[in-house]
Structure 1
């Protein structure tokens, strides 16, 4: 048998029917298949630890139905202007000391504007990059020029989630379009920045919406290097405050399907982890998740702290992934093929 890593192609031509068939497999069968793909392409038991800091909170003009930072909703999230460089660098150093290898900075903006605040964010990017951390930003929409400036400052990754399917998008957000999201992802990709893009489940969407979102992500010309899978954290004061909690099996289906479709991608177990037991999180890791956010908050919502995650890593025998480490599977080409992944 030849080395499977050099013979199994990555695909960007998945059909909706193929994805639907994978997603709806019996859950244990789905987990086993995802675990096999994960082992083929990734270092199993290795999980990247990331920290997310809100560098500018609240007052956002968008109407994302899930977000407590939207100015139009009445939530308990305090509004604060852009943090000082010193505060950000101190937070990044603490995250690094606690074991994080990626530091993400989020600003509650609809889009980046070419002003002093953006200049300061560029300074933050440069400073965090100098610490040896993978630096990521989520700042809303960016144009080609702004993406280039972020790249020149040392930005490693940019997060811009699709959130849901194109068909369901207008039920969740009306202040920007799905095409706006895709254009920002393209601008980031063209600048040579690693793409981080995923979605949220529990917004009231159907399984078909989840499958359609995975279809878009897995059929981009190049798979996102990171796909966060978020479970909605309902916040009082937002339109989705009464949504029921997403079950672990729904998270497992999304994670496992994403792992099979995008084998080299970091699949991140993101929002909603605070409500999950260690056993439930272990199921997600088994299904192919290999990245988490750690730290007491995920932007503005509760998240497991570093000590809790350290204890979980020790219990499950997980190893933190190093910074700037490319996935194994070198030389695997992205090609258009018919049929499912198969190893010769």
Structure 2
């Protein structure tokens, strides 16, 4: 396993294009080799994602069933009680998760009692010995500092797609808003979880451009989720075709090569993948998944813990153990 931090941040679009468009087996071989140089290839980080506040979001993200303006079957739920969230976190740890992520369907964090409750949740999950992650929408630097001081390990804020295609998917915020939140998270000393979604109607060039944005950041995201569109009835993208497995493999492999130190997460879309297809993703460099007792990923179906542990046994994979590392706040 590589222990140095010799990562590149000066990738060009042409270089990433060349990697991305390699013959598939050559690409997977290259990615698998890179993965083994930087990581223990048998270890996969098991993460649990819980929706702590569901639905009613004022944004218009075309893929999201939690947007208030779309007519979906998803019920709006208020922020969960702290005790309920901590009970879920405890179960997640007992089931083998090392990271617990809390998601709230907000456009942005507001300095109110709900945010105070999120702070208490972060403290409580941190005390359980889990890596704590949140995804709460846009965030100021001051809010990020509060989360860091409460013990937040990571903040998820996906780019979703390329800057050029972004306005086709979301009109209620700009691509630069995403970048600003990521920068605020970095300034507060919190690790970054940021990736995107494929299957939104974007081109291969859009996918390459999104990877270029991530791979040329001054510091690569510590976690890079690769999501296949979960088609939710009632959203504008409900009739988009299912993402081809080889497109997922190609994205994961390219992300692994250009961001070798990052954890690449096989995220949304696993429910529609066979075990063999998921195995290809692990071979291409994925080393993290979301699982959970509810068998949902936020509001869409997802494989459950029992099923995932059986897959791990079949493939010879092991849940990654949480690494005890000190964080330094740079503010």
Q: Counterpart of 1:78? A: 75
| Cα separation, 1, equivalents of 2:322 and 2:243 | 31
1:325 Cα shift? Answer: 5.5
| Cα separation, 2, equivalents of 1:110 and 1:4 | 39
Q: Counterpart of 2:23? A: 26
1:5–1:40 contact (8 Å) kept in structure 2: no
2:2–2:38 contact (8 Å) kept in structure 1: no
1:323 Cα shift? Answer: 1.2
Of 189, 193, 197, which residue of structure 2 is paired with 1:192? Answer: 189
1:61 Cα shift? Answer: 0.2
Q: Counterpart of 2:301? A: 302
Alignment of 1:314-333 (within 5 A): 314-324=313-323
| Cα separation, 2, equivalents of 1:153 and 1:121 | 10
Q: Counterpart of 2:91? A: 94
Corresponding residue SS for 2:165: helix
1:160 Cα shift? Answer: 0.1
Asked if 1:181 corresponds to 2:178, the answer is: yes
| Cα separation, 2, equivalents of 1:109 and 1:4 | 39
| Cα separation, 1, equivalents of 2:18 and 2:88 | 44
Greater RCO (Cα-Cα under 8 Å, separation 6 or more)? 1
Asked if 1:259 corresponds to 2:256, the answer is: yes
Q: TM-score normalized by structure 1?
A: 0.93
| Cα separation, 2, equivalents of 1:311 and 1:264 | 27
Corresponding residue SS for 1:124: helix
Q: Please list every run of 5 or more consecutive structure 1 residues that lacks an aligned counterpart in the other structure.
A: 327-344
Q: Counterpart of 2:281? A: 284
| Cα separation, 2, equivalents of 1:5 and 1:25 | 28
| Cα separation, 2, equivalents of 1:306 and 1:156 | 23
Number of aligned residue pairs: give it: 323
1:174 Cα shift? Answer: 0.5
Q: Please list every run of 5 or more consecutive structure 2 residues that lacks an aligned counterpart in the other structure.
A: 326-331
Asked if 1:46 corresponds to 2:43, the answer is: yes
Q: Which runs of 4+ in 1 moved over 3 A?
A: 3-6
Q: Counterpart of 1:156? A: 153
Asked if 1:138 corresponds to 2:135, the answer is: yes
| Cα separation, 2, equivalents of 1:36 and 1:325 | 27
2:193–2:224 contact (8 Å) kept in structure 1: yes
